[in-house]
Amino acid sequence: MRPKNLEKEEAIRSIALQIIAEEGLENLSMQKLAKAANVSPRTIYIKYENKEDFLIKLFIDEVLGSYEKAVMEKFNPDMGFAEGVKKIWTNSFRYFKENRHYYVLMQYGKSSPLLNKAYQDRDIKEGDFFTPIHQFLQLHMKAGNIIKLPVAAYRAILFAPLFDLINEYFEHTTRPKQIITDKVLADSCEAVVNGLLV
């Protein structure tokens, strides 16, 4: 892809994330996106078949990939359980605080058929993303440090509370006082970890 086309592509993706964050996924249309990006709809349809194709590529290529990279920063599957979970939570919290548009699309992806469709289209299987976290959980289950549960259950237990806290953080950015502080995050993380240790 030529540099000018690459810049145009990045601008289209960035504007799409902004529209999704500010107006909701249901209000993103290819016509609205083209107008906001100052391109013709035909320009977008050259690369994407339709809105669904665009969202799948945006979710996998832009959001999920960069989130995985951020979560894995200084994380090692051999870490102690409490230390590893704290690193995952801290990295996730920091990343989404700085990338609210990505957080919004991640939330839509979790609650819509978009994510399953994306995985099917790309032949992505459980463990293709966040492999070190899967290894981390398996190591601790094998060692008898944590109760044995399917990885999908651990994903829900570890990430649902975290995402709810991040959501609360964003809810309080427009209120007089931010209640989701680093200490609240750390204390919440500790409570989740303590509930899983054997």
**pLDDT for residue 117 is more than 80:** no
Compute the distance between CA of residue 57 and CA of residue 169 in angstroms, rounded to an integer.
Answer: 28
Compute the distance between CA of residue 178 and CA of residue 190 in angstroms, rounded to an integer.
Answer: 20
Q: Which one has a higher pLDDT value, 121 or 169? A: 169
What CATH number is given to the structural domain containing 1? 1.10.10.60
- What radius of gyration, in Å, describes the C-alpha atoms of the chain? 19
Range of the domain at 93: 64-196
Q: Are residues 72 and 160 in the same domain?
A: yes
Question: What pLDDT, in 10s, does the model give residues 63-116?
Answer: 888 999 999 999 999 999 999 999 999 999 999 999 988 888 888 776 667 667
Question: What pLDDT, in 10s, does the model give residues 53-62?
Answer: 888 888 887 8
Asked whether residue 102 is domain-assigned, the answer is yes
Q: Are residues 30 and 68 in the same domain?
A: no
Question: What integer is the mean pLDDT of 28-35?
Answer: 92
Asked whether residue 53 is domain-assigned, the answer is no
pTM score, whole prediction: 0.83
Which residues 6+ apart lie within 8 Å of 75 measured at CB?
84, 87, 88, 91, 132, 133, 136
Q: Are residues 178 and 85 in the same domain?
A: yes
